Amino acid sequence: MWAVVYITPDKKEATRIQEILTREGILVKIKELSASGTNNKKRSVEILVPEAEADEALEIISSI
């Protein structure tokens, strides 16, 4: 199972965190959430990791 460890306000930030976690050897998926309005181009993005790696990912994210 995958666990959401962080939600970013945009894809740029999600990609940056994904790269950091990947360098640390953690599997990462990112998932864009639906925009609240049809003209809203900014979308929040979930960062997901395997449940077994969630604690380690949270430690890394908190140190950024």
Q: Supply the CATH number for residue 14's domain.
A: 3.30.70.1940
Q: Which residues span the domain enclosing 52?
A: 2-62
d(CA 49, CA 55): 10
**E strand or H helix that includes residue 21:** helix 11-23
**Residue pLDDT, tens place only, 29-43:** 999 997 665 555 678
Q: Cβ-count burial of 57 within 10 angstroms (0-12 exposed, 13-18 middle, 19+ buried)?
A: buried
Domain count, the chain: 1
- The conformational region for residue 27 under phi > 0 = left, psi -120 to 50 = alpha, else beta, is beta
**Residue pLDDT, tens place only, 43-60:** 899 999 999 999 999 999
Average pLDDT in the chain: 92
Residue 20: name the closest of 51, 52, 49 by CA.
Answer: 49
- Residue 38: per-residue pLDDT: 52
CA 62 remoteness from chain centre: 13
